Amino acid sequence: MIRKYILMALSLLGSLFIYLFYRTQKTAINEIAISLLSESEYQALRESIRSALPLNDPTIYSLPEGLWVFCITLTSQSFYFKFRQLQLPCVYLPPVVALGFELFQLLGITKGRFDVVDIAVSLLFWMLAQFLFPKNREQDLLASFSFRNSLCVLSYCIVYLAHVFD
């Protein structure tokens, strides 16, 4: 169980690192970083990291989504939504959400560029999470308040930090 949480934290930290230092400065997380530092300090740190550790485009633009899908798969896999008499396993929600984001980009509903590589990376990380950590007994996500179901909901909310402002 500890190994699972360590991998989740490392996944989110890796994604955060890429967003902070390689993606557009107009994301929510970068706006927060700039407000905590000064714009000049942030720029200096960003440039020094980018020059010391150059990354290729797939790493910058596809890996963060894959890491996020990995994390939300791990938090989702032991829950289900109850809808009337149906129990819908939450483990299938991460690829649906990732595909939905890509479709919204394709349709121009959200900012960004539709990319088949993003979908492939997301599916790969979704399968990897299921392979590494087979799901436990499932529980109703909304039946009670606990650390585990709060973590699950929070892991979906984290995607807001990648939101791009104009």
Task: Read off the pTM.
Answer: 0.87
Please, which residues have CB within 8 angstroms of residue 138's CB and are 6 or more apart in sequence? Answer: 78, 79, 80, 87, 89
Output the pLDDT for position 50.
97
**Predicted local confidence at residue 78, as pLDDT:** 87
Does position 148 have pLDDT exceeding 90, yes or no? no
Reported as a pLDDT band with limits 50, 70 and 90, residue 54 is: very high
pLDDT on residue 26: 84
Q: Tens digit of pLDDT for each residue in 112-136?
A: 889 999 999 999 999 999 999 877 7
> Are the CB atoms for 91 and 73 separated by under 8 Å?
yes
Average pLDDT over residues 142-160: 81
DSSP string, 115-154: -HHHHHHHHHHHHHHHHHS-----EETTSS--HHHHHHHH
